[in-house]
Amino acid sequence: MSLLIISHSDCLRHRPPPGHPERPERLEAALRGARQIASAIWSDAVEASTQQLERVHTRSYLDRLNSADAAGQSMTLDPDTHLGPGSLRAARLAAGAVCAGVDAATSGTHSAALALVRPPGHHAESGRAMGFCLYSSVAVAAAYALAAHAIERVAVCDFDVHHGNGTEAILAGDARMLLTSSHQWPLYPGTGDPRQPAASNVVNAGLPPASGSNEFREAWLAQLLPAIDAFAPELILISAGFDGHWRDPLARLQLKDEDFYWIGEQLKSLADRHAKGRLVASLEGGYDLKGLEESVLAFGEALA
């Protein structure tokens, strides 16, 4: 089946202060890459529902964001994370896009889906915005898959250069979930130390600064892919961050476009083996525009 790409132009309306790395041009670059995938089918995202968000976020946190949005306020939620006009709709669309991907994958209309949206999500905790993220979009989709579909085991795979502390805090200890992550270590946000696992359902692989293709692939081949294989998930969700690319300004890994093709191919193979091909990926990081465009193209071609 063809790859379903889910996006929305209103994700461009989230506008952090000038000079912020999480800027609208990121999404434009990702879309340029995806438009080169000839077989892709495109769909507009819809906002995540309150019920979907409440499965992983506290009511008080959601109320705070909703009140600020309704008042048209601009807020600094943490030193890196900003809320302004258009931000909350963009974040709801981002979370809703991953949930729509789950619907498509579980219904069989498209086994693989890629949500090209912003802001990213994997640093957002249940009651706190953090690291450019407002809603923990992939965690929202994982909880939705378990609650709304006949899915009993979900593997969440994260290859963003930064550890997804929010996803981990939300999913840790839930035996229906497996979280696997490769990330530069040490690096922001300071979590994800592989020597201190958060729970038995979490597998972290830390990559030292300057690690490249060999170290990245070995971490997945030796630790993360076998854990996913043994878990035999019925759905694979991916936090697809491309800031491990050698061009990226926010970290020091040395990955290439072909590494993102490779990891997409590996995870798609596991989805085919265990999950009837059901796989949904969502854009996380990636802050060099050329690197992001080329990486999304490579990763999307592997899924397609």
State the DSSP code for 9: G
What is the Cα–Cα distance from 276 to 285, expressed in whole angstroms?
28
Facing residues of 275 across strands? none
Catalytically annotated residue among 8, 14, 122, 123? 123
What SS3 state is found at 157?
Answer: strand
Q: State the Cα–Cα distance between residues 279 and 94, nearest whole angstrom.
A: 17
Select from 54, 53, 40 the least CA-distant residue to 93: 53
Give the burial string for 180-209 (b: 16+ CB within 10 Å, else e): bbbbbbebbeebbebeeebeebbbbbbbee
With CA atoms as reference, report the closest residue to 70 among 88, 52, 95.
88
* 53, 138 contact by CB (below 8 A): no
Structural tokens at position 12: 């461009």
Question: If we measure between CA atoms, which residue out of 232, 234, 260 comes closest to residue 246?
Answer: 260
Decide: 268 and 102 in contact? Cβ < 8 Å: no
181 conformational bin, left if phi > 0, alpha if psi -120 to 50, beta if neither: beta
Strands 235-240, 202-207: pairing kind: unpaired
Indicate if 123 belongs to the active site: yes
At residue 220's C-alpha, the angle toward residues 219 and 225, to 5°, is 140
Active site residues: 123
